[in-house]
Structure formats: structure tokens, C-alpha cells
Structure 1
Amino acid sequence: MEIYTTIVIRTVLFYVLILVIFRVMGKREIGELSILDLVVFVMIGELAILGIENPKEPSILVAIPMVLLMVIQIILAKISLKSKRFRDLVDGKPTIIINRGKIDEQAMRKQRYNFDDLLTQLREKDIRSIADVEFAILESSGSLSVIERMNNSDGKPKDGDITIPLIIDGNIEEENLTRINKTNLWLRQELKKMGYRDVRKISFCSFENGKFFVDIMDEE
């Protein structure tokens, strides 16, 4: 009887501890979990199970690594906020699967993403035909973001673009500049015309449909 009481108490204890840990780590939807989040969540869950299944093991010996994992995750999350290079290394980058109505088979092969995956995720978004899609972006979380084609009043497809970041956290995204056939020098000259001389002070800059969007870093 004593062992059953111990198991019940430990179950409640670890349940509360996990709630506290997840609350401290922040609210995230399941589909938005990064690889770091997922690894930490799985390890914490496994540790809790081991603690419940081994009632003779002191609870503190299980709680310590759980809290340690929480601290590690918070530290890495802060590094991720300040370093896009670290985010790209851990989470990967979004991949454009359909660009202006054209399927990028090379990008699909690179991501080991097949047509069955594409059609399944399009159906989940109530998209009946690939012909209705202007852009489809495979996010780093594995979800598919879809932008449908827009038509003019005459029924012909309307030209449009997606937001392509050219500067993130003060760093120029050379890969995205290449994607729109522009250069680093072009970007700096255009920004100077608008009065932005120091790229490092720009938190986010994008170029869409011939227009810039620029956001300056907050002063700490």
C-alpha cells in the first residue's frame, strides 16, 4: 500500500513540476516547436516517467536534471533570439516549394519532401488544385504556408510577391539578395537614399513589390 501512495504522490509532484517548467519556458503551439523545444520536452517527459516508475529513487535526483534541462533550453532560446545563424543551424530555414505557381522540384528533393506530402498539406488547407497556389513555403517547423493566386477583375492572375527578408538582426541575407537578383552594394545604396546608413542598426528589412519595409532596432 505504501508503494502505491508513493507512486501517486510522485505522479502529482512531477506533473506539477512539468507544468511549472513548461510555463517558464513559454507558450508555444505544437506545430511551432523548434527542434530544441522538442528534444527538451521529450527528455523531460522521459525523466518524469523514470521518476514515477522507480519510487525508490529519490525525487530530487530526477527533479535536478529536469530543471537543468529547463535552464539549458532557456539559455539556448536567448542565444537563438540574438543570433540568426544559430537559429538557422538548429531550426533550419523556410523553403519555397512553389514559387509564383512553379513547383521547385530541386527544393523538394533537398528537403526530402515529395508530392504526396505537398498534396496532403494542401488538402488540409482546403486547396483543391496546385494551380490555385502562388506561393507555398515549407516552414522550419514542417508546416506548409500557402498563398493563393489573386486574380484581376478580368480574371487574369495578379502579380504579387512574398515578403523576403534582406536584413535580419543587423545582418544582410546574401542568399535572399541573390534570389531577387540584387547585390549587397545595391541594398546599401538604396538604404542610404532612405537615410539608413548603418545596416547594423536595422532589425528587419524586406523588399516586396518594389517597396522596402525597414524597422530599426529598439534602443536598450
Structure 2
Amino acid sequence: MDYVINGLKLVTGLIAFMIVIRALGKKHLAEMTPYDMIYLLMFGGILEETLYNPKISIWQFLFSLGVWVAAIYVIEKLVTKSNKVRALLKGEPDHLIVDGEINLHLMNKNQLEMEQLRTMLRQQGIFSLREVKDLFLEPGGDISINQYAKYKPVTCGDLDINKREDSPSVLLIDEGQIQQEVLHAIGKTELWLRQELTREGFSDPHDVIYCEWSKSDGFFIK
């Protein structure tokens, strides 16, 4: 019986966590703030204490999860309505470098050493501080950089060149399996795919491990 209850608690916790992720939006999957870490730790604590404490019933667990979900939802709504609440809970970016000048006060406030800063710059493909005009330390710990113009890569716009826009590619065959849903989404048929494969020198789709296609570049087959 204990195994069944623990299983129910795990499934319930998983469902609650998925509901929170869906409610908060996809941005939370890409950007973690200190507040996000706090509610993840709280969720782990609730789940751990419940699993290993038989005195806590499934209903008590559901109540705790309900309060946890409701609190997060309310706080997120408050964050979107009030800049002061957002700054308090989520934090704000710190402008560490302004027009080439380093703000040592903010460096010390964030307990950031120069070599740590250089490491973060190298991860962005910048190997000298002389290239950086402005640098922001984001609430999630990432950095955003504005380079001096002379160090920025030359673009087609700079050279006044008209470059063709690339279209996104789609995966049509995955390890020999034709992706029917993808074909339907782009308005193509399996007959069309087989005909195009024959033109490319592949008579049997099962011999293809990878096949992608885009309007701008056509087929790429392995």
C-alpha cells in the first residue's frame, strides 16, 4: 500500500509541476531567476518530505501543492503588474560597463571578479575587454554585451548587399521513417517526397537516415 501511495504522490507532484510550467509560460524554460530557483527548491522539499513521511497523507500533500501553485501564480501575476514587485523578486540587470568604463561598485555588489568577467566574455566569443562598450549582468546570471562598432562583424546591410532570406528547414525522414505529420504541415504528400528522393538518387526512404528540406535550400540527405 505504501508503494501505491508513494507512486500517487510522485505522479501528483509531476502533474502539479507541469501545470506550473504551462501556466508560467515557456520563457521560464529558457531563463532562470533567483526566484525561480527558490520555488523549485521548495517543490523539491515538499515532495521529499511527503515521500519519506508516511504520516503525511495524499490529501495533505495535495493541499501543500495547491498552496504552492497558487502562491507562485499570484506572485507571477503581481510581477507582471508592478515594476517594483518585479524588481524586488526577480531583480534587475546591472550595467557593469558603461561606455567602456567599469562600475566597480556593481562588480563588488555582485561578487564578480575580473577573471570571472573575462571568462564570461570568452564564452561570448570576446577575448579582450577593449571591445566592450556596454555590458549588462542579467538577473539570471547571463551577460548582454554591446561591442564598439569597429569590433562588430560586418553585415550585408553594412555592405549594401541584398542577401536571400533563408527558410527554416523541416525533418522529413528520421532514421528511415517518413514524418507524415511534417509533410501534412508543409502541404506536401508522401508521393511528392518519394519522387523528389528518386531525383536525388534515393529510391527507398528506408535507406535514408536523415532528410531535411527547406524552400530556400531544398534537400539535405544522409
* TM-score interval, normalised by the smaller of the two chains: 0.5 to 0.7
Correspondence for 1:89: 88
Instruction: Give the secondary-structure state (helix, strand or coil) at the position aligned to 2:80.
Output: helix
Q: Which residue identity does 1:125 align to in structure 2?
A: Q
Could you list the runs of 4 or more consecutive aligned residues of structure 1 that deviate by over 4 angstroms after TM superposition?
Answer: none
So what's the TM-score if we normalise by structure 2? 0.60
Q: CA RMSD in A?
A: 2.2
The CA distance in 2 between the partners of 1:33 and 1:130, in whole Å, is 27
The runs of 5 or more residues in structure 1 that have no matched partner are 153-220
Greater Rg, structure 1 or structure 2? 2
| Number of aligned residues | 151
The CA distance in 2 between the partners of 1:36 and 1:75, in whole Å, is 14
**Distance apart, 1:118 and its partner CA:** 0.8
Check conservation: 2:5, 2:58, Cα contact below 8 A: no
Check conservation: 2:13, 2:65, Cα contact below 8 A: no
More divergent stretch after superposition (134-143 vs 17-26): 17-26
**Distance apart, 1:144 and its partner CA:** 0.9
What is the correspondence of 1:67-216 to structure 2 with a 5 Å cutoff? 67-151=66-150
The CA distance in 2 between the partners of 1:35 and 1:56, in whole Å, is 32
**Distance apart, 1:12 and its partner CA:** 2.5
The CA distance in 2 between the partners of 1:5 and 1:128, in whole Å, is 56
The CA distance in 1 between the partners of 2:9 and 2:82, in whole Å, is 39
Check conservation: 1:137, 1:144, Cα contact below 8 A: yes
Please list the CA deviations of residues 14-58 of structure 1 after superposition, one character each: whole Å capped at 9, or x if unmatched.
Answer: 222222232223333456233333222211121112222234521
Check conservation: 2:9, 2:61, Cα contact below 8 A: no
Quick one: structure 1 residues 13 and 72, their matched pair in 2 at CA, closer, same or farther if it must change by over 3 Å?
closer
So what's the TM-score if we normalise by structure 1? 0.61
Q: Which residue identity does 2:132 align to in structure 1?
A: V
The runs of 5 or more residues in structure 2 that have no matched partner are 152-222
Please list the CA deviations of residues 156-194 of structure 1 after superposition, one character each: whole Å capped at 9, or x if unmatched.
Answer: xxxxxxxxxxxxxxxxxxxxxxxxxxxxxxxxxxxxxxx
Check conservation: 1:21, 1:67, Cα contact below 8 A: no
